[in-house]
Amino acid sequence: MATLALYRAATALAAPAIAAFLAWRRLVGKEDAARFGERRGIASLPRPEGPVVWVHAASVGEAQSALTLVERLTAILPAAHVLVTTGTVSSARLLAERLPERALHQFVPVDRRRWVRAFLAHWQPSLALWIESELWPNLVLETAACGIPMVLVNARMSERSFANWRRWPGIVGPLLERFRRVLAQSELDGSRYRSLGAADVVVTGSLKYDAATLPVDAHELAHLAAAIGHRPRWLAASTHAGEDEPVALRGRFQLDHEVVLVLVIQNPHL
């Protein structure tokens, strides 16, 4: 707990540096200028009447995984609203297009206690569902202090993250203890969470396999299908800088038939 106390003190003392960093992000387009207050816990929407279920997803990938869960929550809880928080402009755009009725989006507050407390005081969620693996200490601790039950959903833990967290047992253990349950993607993920201090871990698989089919322009799809014909196709999605050439070469030499190779490049600025 001493390590956590140091973190909490540091985020309080670093207020000027955090404000400067946020201002820089706003300047380069990584923050939504019109909704900048949300990052400081200032809501841009009124709280709806009735229960609010809070779903936190870090960015586009987690938000995409969460959509099916959000749709299910609004279906089985007709009196409730679902608040989805993310930290990136690109995820906000995605959710603006795809959130169902009675679901709304806000940017997650930056991890300072004052801003987190303002966020929680406004929204007063009845339940908090955290998607995958983003654990912000002040956000976790202040949510638990409000008596809001928390569940880590679709939880994953890469080998690198596991190695990093093991160096900070004084932080990760107390954080995971605050979660009522961890729903892990795989047995390996589950074992890593248990070893880091999570008490109640259940392996449920990945939400991505339950996701609905992505929306598509029917005219463009038909045009692409006609151009490809019956040739084999290979999709390399969300590639990073430097990966395109080896992917293309591997596709060229591994397959004996003519190949249509489609590359979807991930914008590093989103």
Residues marked active site are found at 62
The tokens describing 103, both together, are 């679901």
Whole-Å CA distances, 127 to 35, 39, 68, 71, 130 = 24, 21, 17, 16, 10
**Contact (CB, 8 A) for 92 and 86:** yes
Q: Is 265 helix (H, G, I), strand (E, B) or coil?
A: strand
Q: Is 254 helix (H, G, I), strand (E, B) or coil?
A: helix
Sheet architecture: strand order including 127-131: 103-107, 81-86, 52-56, 127-131, 150-155, 181-184, 201-203
| Conformation bin of residue 234: beta by default, left when phi > 0, alpha when psi is -120 to 50 | beta
Write out the DSSP string of 155-221: E---HHHHHHHHT-HHHHHHHHHT-SEEEESSHHHHHHHHHHT-SSEEE---GGGGPPPPP--HHHH
**Contact (CB, 8 A) for 195 and 169:** no
Give the separation between CA 176 and CA 6, rounded to whole angstroms: 18
| 155 bridge partner residues | 184
| 183 bridge partner residues | 202
What are the phi and psi torsion angles at 234 (to 5°)? -140, 130
